[in-house]
Amino acid sequence: MTDQITLPLSFHTGFLSDLPVLEAVRKIRDHGYEMVELNGELLPWGPAHITPDTPRAVIDKLAGMGPYSALCIHHCDFGSSRDDRRDAALAWGREMMDRAVDLGIGLVHVIPGEETGIAALHRSLAVAVEDAERRGLTLALEAIVGRQIGTVQTALAALEAAPGLKINFDPSHYHPMGDDTTEAAKALLPHIAHVHLKDAVGGPEDFRFVPLGEGGIDLTAMLRVLLEGGYRGAVSIEHESHFFAGDARGADEVLRDCRADFDALMARAQGAPVV
């Protein structure tokens, strides 16, 4: 049997929004995750862990607790059709990019915001790519179910409109939009810089994010495509089934289970027996 490929496993801190960021990072690392993805987004169930106002003392402590796979800098006004709101979101994004530099994080990712115009959204992406490159960062886009960039085709159009843009590939957003996630991985592979591992059921109007293996996504086939295509970056588990599907597991159980789920998926993707 050939040696198995390993990918660094990360975990998105958004699930642990009830914990201070230092505790959240420590808990993730204590469960054997090689990396951590820091959340800078206000979520329906909790606050962001990193903001432009995060105290310097906290940033300095966090900088020594890495490595980090990414900083999520999602803003609802990114690409807004209103100039004032769009400009404010871009300015906020620049401040968040500065936090990424302070933390030693090389990749930040954005989402298509709400009430956007596609031309304004493409312009915002092009500006944000330049802002990131000036700081030595990579900017990635995460497509979002139901938004103006939520499918493979709209993601490819965004890549063309904003040279240098990369993809944070989250299959749970493509699946409800009707895209085959394995084919989506193939189409976007040259541009993928970061991966979210998350499962989903339903369509654009009734989607739910569910525990790994309980949705409609063939995660094994998707990982196989990524591995065979040469992807060697981080895979970050973004656990949201507690909010979307009533998943009552506690933090420690989720972290243990997700670590085991990922290891089993990686083994299956490479034709190895699951132990």
- Percent of the chain scoring above 70 in pLDDT: 99
Confidence of residue 273 (pLDDT cuts 50, 70, 90): confident
Paired with 139 in beta bridges are 108
Q: Is the pLDDT of residue 243 over 60?
A: yes
**Tokens 């159009």 belong to which residue?**
157
Q: Is the pLDDT of residue 189 over 90?
A: yes
Tell me how far apart the alpha carbons of residues 114 and 235 are, in angstroms, rounded to a whole number: 26
Tell me how far apart the alpha carbons of residues 212 and 193 are, in angstroms, rounded to a whole number: 21
Q: Is the pLDDT of residue 88 over 60?
A: yes
Cα distance between the two ends of the chain: 15
Topology adopted by domain 9-269: TIM Barrel (3.20.20)
Runs of H (alpha helix) within 31-80: 56-63
Neighbours of 212 (CB within 10 A): 20
**Listed residue (15, 18, 61, 27) closest to 198, CA to CA:** 15
pLDDT at 3: 84
Tell me how far apart the alpha carbons of residues 229 and 75 are, in angstroms, rounded to a whole number: 31
pLDDT at 121: 97
pLDDT at 275: 60
Tell me how far apart the alpha carbons of residues 24 and 59 are, in angstroms, rounded to a whole number: 14
Tell me how far apart the alpha carbons of residues 249 and 237 are, in angstroms, rounded to a whole number: 15
Confidence of residue 274 (pLDDT cuts 50, 70, 90): low
Asked if residues 9 and 259 have their Cβ atoms less than 8 Å apart, the reply is: yes
Confidence of residue 272 (pLDDT cuts 50, 70, 90): confident
Q: Is the pLDDT of residue 1 over 60?
A: no
Mean pLDDT (whole number) for 162-183:
98
pLDDT at 127: 98
Q: Is the pLDDT of residue 148 over 50?
A: yes
pLDDT at 197: 99
Mean pLDDT (whole number) for 134-162:
98
Amino acid at 177: M
Radius of gyration of the CA atoms of the chain, in A? 18
Q: Is the pLDDT of residue 242 over 70?
A: yes
Mean pLDDT (whole number) for 112-136:
97
Average pLDDT, the chain: 97
Tell me how far apart the alpha carbons of residues 92 and 74 are, in angstroms, rounded to a whole number: 10
Write the DSSP string, 157-213.
Answer: HHHHHSTT-EEEE-HHHHGGGT--HHHHHHHHGGGEEEEEE-EEES-TTT-EEE-TT
Helix 219-228 and helix 181-188, axial crossing angle in degrees, nearest 10: 20
User: Both tokens of residue 206?
Assistant: 């009734």
Interval 29-86: pLDDT, tens = 999 999 999 999 999 999 999 999 999 999 999 999 999 999 999 999 999 999 999 9
**Listed residue (110, 197, 125) closest to 164, CA to CA:** 125
Interval 195-215: pLDDT, tens = 999 999 999 999 999 999 999
3-state helix, strand, coil in the chain (%, to 5): 45, 15, 40
pLDDT at 2: 64
Burial annotation 179-210 (CB, 10 A radius, 16+ → b, else e): bbbbebbbbbbebbbbbbbbbbbbeeeebbbb
